[in-house]
Structure 1
Amino acid sequence: MILPAAPASLIGPDGQPLFGRYAGQVDQFDWPRLASPYARNAVWRRFHHKRWHYIALGTERIFCAVAIVDVGWTSTAFAYAFDRDDGDMLANFSQDGLPGLSATLADNAAGASRFKTRRSDIAIDSPEPGRYRLALRCDYLEIDAEFGPGTAPLLLACGAAAKGSVHATQKSTAMPVTGQVRTFRDEYDLAGGVASFDYSNGLLARETAWRWASGHNLEVGFNLQAGYFGANENALWLDGQLHALGPAHFLYDNSDPLSRWHIFTEDDQLELYFTPEGARRENKNLVVAASRYLQPIGTFSGWVRTAPDAPKRMVNQLVGVTEDHSSRW
């Protein structure tokens, strides 16, 4: 199913959220306008409003991911650079910010997000419609990247959040990227690679968990999630068009996360096997909050299709990530 165009707002005149999957962009996530049963008071929203801005950059030689996260009462950021030739994690930066000071999160996917401390400076912005920039300076890693415009529409998804209220996400598939990644070992040219982003904004439960998979090139891309958001954001980009996918299943040995993953959707439109090349792991326990995070980097092979009776399109060594994440935030 090809997705309908995005609405001007995710909240209707009656205060009800416009649940669904759409192609396009929305400018505002105006959760204070929500009406019952999704409305929450200002204090609840202060501690349950979660936003993150995530960028992925991939070439044949290197894969990088950068995220700025605002959890309502504090903030955090991470960045890593992974050498795909030898499986080395060249840089693995993570830092918690000062509440209300270190992070500024955009109001939408085209806005500006920043995380700045004495040790680090990460800036994401969009200098013009459809074009994006990432500038990063932190320990052992510098990135200057520009990407877009893409040839396929953005995914906009809105739905109920398990044990929370409402969540929405705006995601891209692959866009051509230029720029450089600089590490202690070498400089990496991003030309010929691809970039993608994930901007998410919602009112989530204190205990939130999910599994996620994302892989993209200029012909095919997909986004899959199983957990607190159900199948709301599951989608396939193929030949410039955006299609809905059904609920996804992630099968892997969590005692050996670098073993092969098997991922498929219930609608018989996607079946992939993911072979990890390495992984970023981080576990935090801050008493009032905790996080268990695993993001393997690797390649997907298998097939996708736009309908259960459509021809299968083979996928061969498509670079991307999977994720297994649980948070008490």
Structure 2
Amino acid sequence: MTLSAAPARLPGLDGQPIFGRFAGPAGAIDWRQLAPPYARSRLWRRFHHKRWHYVALYTEQVFCAVAIVDVGWTNTAFAYAFERHSGRMLAEFSQDGLPGCTASLPHRMAGASQFRLLGKQIHINTGADGASSLTLRCGEFAIDASFGPATAPLLLAAGPVANGAVHATQKSGGMPLRGQLRAGGQSLTLDGGVASFDYSNGLLARNTAWRWASAHDLDVGFNLQAGYFGAQENALWLDGQLYPLGAAQFAYDRNDSRAPWQISTDDGLLELIFTPEGERRGDKNLLVAASRYVQPIGTFSGWVRTAPGQPKRSVQRLAGVTEDHASRW
């Protein structure tokens, strides 16, 4: 199935959202321009508008993740560097920000996302073709990285959200990575690694939950989500091409996040076993808001294919993450 080209803007000139899965970068994503029935008041948008910019970097030695999150009424950021062979965290950073002061994210994928507080800073700059740079300075934890441009089409997914309004997400397949990491008293090269990113922008429900899986190499990768956004963003990147996937099923033991996960799609195009090597988790309850998540880091093995009846492509120890997340935000 070939995806149509991404629209130049969301919503369209008539104020109506353009729903579906598309290939390529979106232009502006500005939900202030929504027309009925999806339009919401300025006050409602203030508390329901959520944006985040997430970057994953991996080599044979390390897996790093960095994110800046703006939930409308406040913001936060996190980063970590996980040493794959030892199964330990080399460095971790997590910081809640000040509303309207410490984080800024653009109304489109292309642009600069920033977080600054008390000398700590994260800066992600992304071009229209997905080519990006990442600078992180959090004490002794530092990253200088560049990646892209994208060698396969970017995914744009847009759709309605129950008890919210609309949501859009722009995701990349694997991109060539260059750079340097300083963490845990070590200086490690990122050259020859792989990067991917997720830019998301939506008017979401007060209570939002999802299960997620993502992993990428330069020739194969996937993004899977089950929860608030249904199957809208499920996709496979294979040999430079982008293919939509069906609804994802996640089978795992919530009481033992280190146990293997079984992941498949209902269209018969993907079947994988995820083996955790470590994890990042959090459990916050701030009365007016709360979040609970576990994000195991590990490898995926199994197979993927582009259509029913097509040959299965073996996947062996592809590095990535899964996530079980619930937020009241």
- TM bucket, shorter chain: over 0.9
Please tell me the root mean square deviation across aligned C-alpha atoms, in Å.
1.1
CA–CA separation in structure 2 for the residues paired with 1:322 and 1:244: 19
Alpha carbons 1:260, 1:275 under 8 Å: kept: yes
Q: Is the 8 A contact 1:127 1:133 kept in 2?
A: no
Indicate the residue corresponding to 1:126 in structure 2.
Answer: 126
Identical pairs, percent? 67
The match for 2:316 is 316
Describe the superposition over 1:162-207 as per-residue Cα deviations: whole angstroms up to 9, x where unpaired: 2110000000011001111101231111011000000000000010
Tell me which amino acid in the other structure corresponds to 1:239.
D
Aligned AA (1:314): S
Q: Which moved more, 1:311-320 or 1:1-10?
A: 1-10
* TM superposition shift of 1:208: 0.4
Contact 2:25 2:128 in 1 (8 A): no
Judged with a 3 Å threshold, the aligned counterparts in structure 2 of structure 1 residues 241 and 129 are, in CA distance, closer, same or farther, namely closer
Distance 1:222 1:174 in 2: 9
State whether residues 66 and 79 of structure 1, in contact with CA within 8 Å, keep that contact through their aligned partners in structure 2. Answer: yes
Unpaired segments ≥5 residues, structure 1: none
Separation in 1 of the partners of 2:184 and 2:264? 38
Q: Give me the TM-score of the superposition, normalised by structure 1.
A: 0.98
Q: What's 2:305 paired with?
A: 305
Give yes or no for contact 1:76–1:94 (8 Å, CA) kept in 2.
yes
Whether 2:92 is the aligned partner of 1:89: answer: no
Matches of 1:13 and 1:118 in 2, distance apart? 41
Partner of 2:245: 245
2:80 alignment counterpart: 80
Matched residue SS, 1:112: strand
Contact 2:80 2:91 in 1 (8 A): yes
Q: Distance in 2 between matches of 1:138 and 1:40?
A: 37
Conserved in 2, the CA contact under 8 Å of 1:8 and 1:26? Answer: yes
SS at match of 2:45: helix
Distance in 1 (CA, whole Å) between partners of 2:170 and 2:215 is: 16
User: Could you tell which deviates more after superposition, 113-122 or 10-19?
Assistant: 10-19
Partner Cα distance (2:308, 2:133) in 1:
38
Would you say how many aligned residue pairs link Structure 1 and Structure 2? 329
Retained in 2: the 8 A contact 1:93–1:139?
no
1:141 positional shift? 1.0
TM-score normalised by the chain length of structure 2:
0.98
Question: Structure 2: how far apart are the matches of 1:255 and 1:103?
Answer: 34
CA distance in 2, matches of 1:198, 1:185: 29
**What aligned pairs does 1:109-188 form with structure 2 within 5 A after superposition?**
109-126=109-126, 129-188=129-188
**Partner residue in 2 for 1:217:** 217
> Could you tell me which residue of structure 1 aligns to residue 290 of structure 2?
290
**1:128–1:25: structure 2 CA closer, same or farther, 3 Å change rule?**
closer
Instruction: Give the aligned partner of residue 69 of structure 1.
Output: 69
CA distance in 1, matches of 2:220, 2:45: 37
Q: Which runs of 5+ in 2 are unaligned?
A: none
Whichever residue aligns with residue 73 of structure 2, its letter is W
Question: Structure 2 CA distance, aligned partners of 1:224 and 1:181?
Answer: 28
Question: What does residue 195 of structure 1 align with?
Answer: 195
